[in-house]
Amino acid sequence: MLVYVLAMAVIVAGLYAMVMKDNLIKKLLGMGIMTNGIHVFLIAIGYRAGGIVPIMQDLDFQRFSLAAVDPLPQALVLTSIVINLSIMAVGLSICILIYRRFGTLDSSRIRRLRG
């Protein structure tokens, strides 16, 4: 239960940074934090206390299915990490261009400068 509360706290912290912070880099970091919170949440769904790694070494299916943690959320998280990485890369490179054009990363000043 504690891990779910923790995951929600991380998500809310990320959301706060995304919506309330003015600096674009901080907004992007908030996005990363929020997604990581969702990842923790997903992993926690598939976790089983005292479970074994979901790699089938001996073919005793009965014992394996009772003891292993759920591998599917881990696969989802891996996919999501890759997606998040590419969004972050696109976002940061847009930030570089923005800094070159506007000379600032403050989103409220950027809005005023756009004219």
Q: At what angle do helices 72-102 and 24-46 cross, to 10 degrees?
A: 180
Does 108 interact with another protein (rule: CB under 8 A)?
A: no
Among 6, 29, 68, 98, binds another protein (CB under 8 A): 98
Among 60, 65, 94, 103, binds another protein (CB under 8 A): 94
Candidate segments 48-56, 57-65, 69-77, binder of another protein by CB under 8 A = 69-77
- Minimum distance, C-beta of residue 1 to another protein, in the bound complex (Å): 13
Does 53 interact with another protein (rule: CB under 8 A)?
A: no
- 93 Cβ contact list (under 8 Å, min separation 6): none
Token pair recorded at residue 63: 């014992």
Integer Cα distance of 4 and 78 in angstroms: 19
Which residues bind to another protein, rule: CB under 8 A? 11, 15, 18, 24, 27-28, 31, 34-35, 38, 41-42, 45, 72-73, 76, 79-80, 83, 86-87, 90-91, 94-95, 97-98, 101-102, 107, 110-111, 113-115
